[in-house]
Structure 1
Amino acid sequence: MNDLGSSLLALQQADSFFPGGGVAWSWGLETLVTDGGASLETVSSASRATATAADHGRDPVSKSSRRPRHQDRSHAVQAFVEGQLRYRWATFDRVFLHAAWHAADHLPSLLDLDQQVEALTLAEELRQGSRRVGQSLLGVHTALGTSGAAAFQQQVSQGHTPGHLPVIQGMLWRALGLSGEHSQLAAAHSLCTGLASAAVRLGVMGHIDAQRVLAHIQPILLELLATPPASLDDASGFTPLAEIAVMRHETQELRLFAN
């Protein structure tokens, strides 16, 4: 497949219209917003302070205090998305997607990668989310007849493997003919748009602010993709406040999202 064809497939797979199941998950954002915004600000405060001081040479706290409230929350969402992209997706999910893309024709290797994701994802809620979104994506591709999807779904149905999202993405998108780079781009873009969409549905910001967040994230995403993925031995994720928020989500009385 040529580069243009791979690009077109990547657009289809990353489109929110594609029924991959990711829209049901906020990855901790709902809990942080329900806490009144203070927790969401805490997630981003250190990174914002560093960036502001470096870019403007002034006190980041005083600058933030002059910002309108809606802008505060938009900046907090922006930092949350960036944090998930830098410190979870790029250092963990991307690693396994990349490995699964290369192992797409070898089922035992894919099963091994899937078990590694399961073992290295400590929060049960994150494991459950990754499994459910991965299995949802797998089910769509099984229905579409994508090569390898039915065989892997059988392994999941029989309880032999959990079906985590990055492994499913790498396997299926290689089978469709997406390049490795386009597969990673589609996955990262899907994550960012999903989080921005969740923020809009939670009433944190409007659609225009969401587009500003995505525009801010794009050069960061391209910067991350310009560097080679880490090795499997170095795969790691560090988003502790978001993970705590995910674990606390089930105690909320009213919930819009699954986590």
Structure 2
Amino acid sequence: MPTDLLRLVQWLSPAFPTGSYAYSHGMEQAITDGAVHDAASAGAWIGDVLRFGAGWSDAVMLVHAHGGADLRDLARALAPSAERMRETEEQGAAFAATVSALGRDVGPQPLPLAVGIAARGLDVPLREVVALYLHAFAANLAACATRFVPLGQTQGQALLQALHPIIADLAARAETAPLGAIASASIAGDLAAMRHETLEVRIFKT
């Protein structure tokens, strides 16, 4: 197995110190509201975020950042709430700091841009970079649902496995998508993230 692929898997592992476990991307609010209450509703929620929300936008931006585009302003403009901005910037800064300490110079960037820049020199197909990024994103949300819906561990893994076709399709399309293909229609997720900012009792930062 190529060492570059192992390096990418390490970067996108839950053990990599980006603090991803502290962010629910608004799912904590959806669980509190009852919109996410079992494996089926959690899978539908995450699938919609991937296809119609930050998953797709992040994938396209990662591709273009990998190609050399400076998209920091665009990435910040696409954040629909203060918490979403904090989520992408804090994780991106933590990712960049650790990757840089490991020998890959990456300045603080919103997370998808930092991953795209860091992956430029890897001998890994771009589609695989995007797929692994989206898988890490989905896995973090599946872990949130597993702990706080709560779901059983097997249910959580089955939920994540069911998202694999969506992830593969998004990665394939994002690989050749122009920046103009970025769009978002994850309105319920965006509203949940906004409302989470005033949730009085919460576990997650977002």
Q: TM-score, normalised by structure 1?
A: 0.73
8 Å Cα contact 2:80/2:190 also seen in 1: no
- Assess if the C-alpha contact under 8 Å between 2:20 and 2:140 holds in 1: yes
Query: Matched residue of 1:252: which SS?
Result: coil
Separation in structure 1 between the aligned mates of residue 100 and residue 5 of structure 2, nearest angstrom:
22
- Per-residue Cα deviation, 1:53-105 (whole angstroms, up to 9, x for no partner): xxxxxxxxxxxxxxxxxxx61100010111111112453111110001111xx
- Say whether residues 1:255 and 2:199 are aligned partners: no
Question: Structure 1: which amino acid aligns with 2:63?
Answer: H
- C-alpha root-mean-square deviation of aligned residues, in Å? 1.8
Aligned match of 2:40 in 67, 70, 75? 75
Matched, 1:212 2:170: no
Superposed, 1:172-191 pairs within 5 Å as: 172-191=118-137
Match runs of 1:230-245 below 5 Å: 230-245=177-192
Instruction: Give the 5 Å matches for 1:191-202.
Output: 191-202=137-148
Report deviation, 1:177: 4.3
Q: Give the TM-score normalised by the residue count of structure 2.
A: 0.91
Query: Which ranges of structure 1 fall in alignment gaps of 5 or more residues?
Result: 41-71, 104-108, 154-162
Number of positions where the alignment pairs a residue of Structure 1 with one of Structure 2: 205
**Which amino acid in the other structure matches residue 16 of structure 1?**
P
CA distance in 2, matches of 1:123, 1:203: 24
Shift in alpha-carbon separation, 1:219–1:234, aligned structure 2, 3 A: closer
Q: How far apart are 1:9 and its partner, in Å?
A: 2.4
In structure 2, stretches of 5+ residues that fail to align are: none
Equivalence for 1:18: 16
What is the Cα deviation at residue 12 of structure 1?
1.6
CA contact (8 A) 1:33 1:204 kept: no
Cα displacement (A) at 1:223: 2.3
Per-residue CA distance 1:183-213 (angstroms, 9 max, x = gap): 1022111111100111122142121101100
Name the counterpart of 2:30: 32
Distance 1:188 1:33 in 2: 22
Query: Are residues 24 and 249 of structure 1, via their aligned partners in 2, closer, same or farther at CA, if it must alter by over 3 Å?
Result: same
When you count helix as a share of all residues, which structure comes out higher? Answer: 1
Q: How far apart, in 2, do the equivalents of 1:118 and 1:139 lie?
A: 19
